Amino acid sequence: MKYFIISGEASGDLHASNLVKQIKIIEPEAEFEGWGGDLCIAQGVKITKHIKDLAFMGFVEVVQNLNKILKNFKTCKRQILQYNPDKIIFVDYPGFNLKMLKWAKKHNFETIYFISPNVWAWKTSRVKIIRDFTDKMFVILPFEKDFYAKYEIEVKYYGNPLVDLINNYKPDTYEEFCKKYILSLDKKLIAILPGSRKQELKKILPIMIKVSEQFPEYQFIIAGAPSINKNLYYKIVPNLQIPILFDKTYEILSHSTSALVKSGTATLETALFKVPQVVCYKANKLSIIIAKKLAKVIYISLPNLILQKQAVVELIQEDFSIERTIFELKKVLPESENYQQIKDDYEKLYDLLNNSEVYGNIAREIVRREKD
């Protein structure tokens, strides 16, 4: 069986690579080609477009890069036709994947969507695309199955795969961690997760660094995105003194006491590691204005969306200032009165998401022939 995978971001690369790993266990002769990152490459996927060339954030940024995006569509279609896969697996990345989904189905390819677009948050009309052009849809948030049921669309929910990944993660001791990266054993750690797109780094990282300077009693570490060149961090923040560890997010979170986190998948990962956090987001002003008009939800972070309450503070656009972020970070440190409440909410979140062998169950469904 030949599979073509389309993932366009770091989180998609993570999920796609683990899914490929499980498919290969069930079907050792399976072949993979597609779009992804270093994690997919490590699983033997022949990458024909790397995620470092794909991430565009916000409405304005998409318009500014429209020619490049249109060229990517043509490239992807050509590669699929040349490879002629048995199945195409679309992993998140909805702005691109939903358009490719329609094209793929019209060209009689079997289509599988893993990780639903946020149709429950905005652009509900996209539900029709999923209904009409997807053979199988696998969702990873507990409320999504009921959402699709309202539109008479059957989707599969086996739990959230991040729970499996984090449950199986075995970190070093804090002493070993500090020795490995030449850190102080006497200071507690605060994680900085500024995102995996260049546009995000430019707007978010400088504020996070300024905030860190006000907490000399703690040590900070930046979780670097493997798809971004290390030099860019130093270009955005000259004379950067904080260590950057690339592709070590789980190692960092497993030893962190608190965190500053860009909104996205990382907010859920941080919560599953039981690390109190401040969620941060800043984009082009026009993009935010358009998003607010279209959005149908009141929260942007996954922990709050899943729990349907403000378990963690969200600082968006103007609220994400140096002064406000300092104030909110103090409220998620161990000595604060909010610290334990956040951890209690995380326990409820974990209970909602906890299922085992999520990737394995999805892989079995993907490999399974209809006659089975």
- Read off the pLDDT of residues 323-363 as tens digits, 9 standing for 90 and up: 999 999 999 999 998 999 999 999 999 999 978 899 999 99
pLDDT of residue 371: 37
Is it the case that residue 289 has pLDDT exceeding 60?
no
Give CA angle at 159 (197, 26), nearest 5°: 90
Q: Would you state the structure tokens that stand for residue 78, as one six-digit string?
A: 């050509």
Is it the case that residue 297 has pLDDT exceeding 80?
no
pLDDT per residue as tens digits for the range 182-195: 999 999 999 999 99
Could you tell me which residue, 199 or 181, shows the higher pLDDT? 181
Which domains, from first to last, does the chain contain? 2-159+357-367 (3.40.50.2000), 167-353 (3.40.50.2000)
CA-based torsion, 263, 96, 287, 150: positive or negative? negative
pLDDT per residue as tens digits for the range 101-119: 999 999 999 999 999 988 8
pLDDT per residue as tens digits for the range 41-53: 999 999 999 988 7
Q: What is each CA distance from 181 to 178, 233, 368, in whole angstroms? A: 5, 18, 45
Instruction: Note the maximum CA span of the chain.
Output: 63
Is it the case that residue 295 has pLDDT exceeding 60?
no
CA-based torsion, 366, 369, 371, 372: positive or negative? negative
Task: For residue 372, name the pLDDT band (cuts at 50, 70, 90).
Answer: very low
**Mean pLDDT of all residues in 77-95:** 96
Kindly tell me the burial class for residue 101, based on how many C-beta atoms sit within 10 Å of its own C-beta (0-12, 13-18, 19 or more).
buried
Q: Would you state the structure tokens that stand for residue 73, as one six-digit string?
A: 């569509």
**Mean pLDDT of all residues in 252-266:** 95
Nearest Cα neighbor of 105 from 117, 91, 88 is 88
CA distance 208 to 90: 33
pLDDT per residue as tens digits for the range 235-245: 999 989 999 99
Nearest Cα neighbor of 65 from 75, 74, 55 is 55
Q: Would you state the structure tokens that stand for residue 235, as one six-digit string?
A: 């270009």
User: In the predicted model, what is the mean pLDDT of the chain?
Assistant: 90
Task: For residue 63, name the pLDDT band (cuts at 50, 70, 90).
Answer: low
